[in-house]
Amino acid sequence: MIDELFTISTLIGILHSCVRLATPYLFASLGETFGQRSGVLNLGVDGIMLMGAFFGFYVVFEGHNLWVGVLAAIAIGVMMGLLKAFVSVTMQSLQGISGIGLYLFGLGLSSLLFKTLIGSVEGVSGFRQLPIPLLADIPGIGHILFNHNALVYLAYLMVPASWFVINRTTLGLKIRAVGHNPEAADTLGVSVNGVRYTTLMIGGALAAVAGASLSIGLQNVFQENMTNGLGFIAVALVYFGSWRTVGVLGGALLFSLVNALQLWVQALDIPVPSEVAVMMPYIMTIVVLAFTARQIQRPAALARSYERGE
């Protein structure tokens, strides 16, 4: 039994699952990275994901194109980001509490809209597997990396894109400055609130696409609270990745790898109690967190609202 786990086809299967499972985490965590790098902690990710999942699904359910669904998700994500920015940046409420409020708001509103507009759990035809020509034919690697749906590829493309924006653009410089020392950034003429509004809108958009990647990409259904707390894990992954995009990628992949592994361990009837298998990803997360508790890149102004002194 246990040797079945180490066959080539099983290993390919595990890695293929891992790559796919990481998709929603990547979108949501990268989005959260933008916010946190500018100094705003958004615990409302899960609520934004639910809104994105719902609107993406609803638009497709109504017969529109899948990409229109993604755009709808982005639009609602931006609005949720704006709401968070208004509460946390303009009104300067405590970031943690207002994030939880936003989560509950998204959870409640997406459920309400689902009940009113759709009413029962229905399926749609979501993004299909899109093997990339030539690359998908590479033995092993091809199936693992290049045989997924479009949103999976998009999630991975967001990693270098986010890295580039944060590290190589003027906006990125402003984001980092505002996150580390808002007073200094303000003195230099950077609009602290403007930057934070921007990052929260980007974060909202990405979180909403993370939700849509579930409802019209990986599962093709909408169900109330279908994220099941995934957004909170996404927030944790940002800490896990020390606020770096590559770190976030590593964290998302590791978490997904262990999750994929435990599903395979169970499916192959390897004698590990299912309770232990289910715990594996979380144990792994804690272990890695314990050993990588460096907080070098932690934005100094994280979770602090900024008010210009007189």
Query: Least Å distance between CB 18 and another protein?
Result: 10
Shortest CA distance to 231 belongs to which of 91, 110, 66, 60?
110
First-residue to last-residue Cα distance in the chain:
70
**Of the two residues 17 and 36, which places its CB atom closer to another protein in the complex?**
17
Query: Least Å distance between CB 5 and another protein?
Result: 11
**Of the two residues 269 and 293, which places its CB atom closer to another protein in the complex?**
269
Query: Least Å distance between CB 242 and another protein?
Result: 25
**Of the two residues 180 and 196, which places its CB atom closer to another protein in the complex?**
196
Query: Least Å distance between CB 256 and another protein?
Result: 9
CB under 8 Å, gap of 24 or more: what pairs does 239-244 form? 239/289, 240/285, 240/288, 240/289, 240/292, 241/29, 241/33, 242/292, 242/294, 242/295, 242/296, 242/297, 242/298, 243/33, 243/36, 243/37, 243/297, 243/298, 243/299, 244/33, 244/297
Question: Interface residues with another protein (CB under 8 A)?
Answer: 10, 13, 16-17, 20-21, 24, 47, 87, 91-93, 97-98, 101-109, 111, 114-115, 119-123, 126, 128, 214, 218-221, 223-228, 230, 259-260, 263-264, 266-269, 273-275, 277-279
**Of the two residues 20 and 244, which places its CB atom closer to another protein in the complex?**
20
**Of the two residues 36 and 213, which places its CB atom closer to another protein in the complex?**
213
Query: Least Å distance between CB 189 and another protein?
Result: 26
Q: Which two tokens stand for residue 123?
A: 């399926």
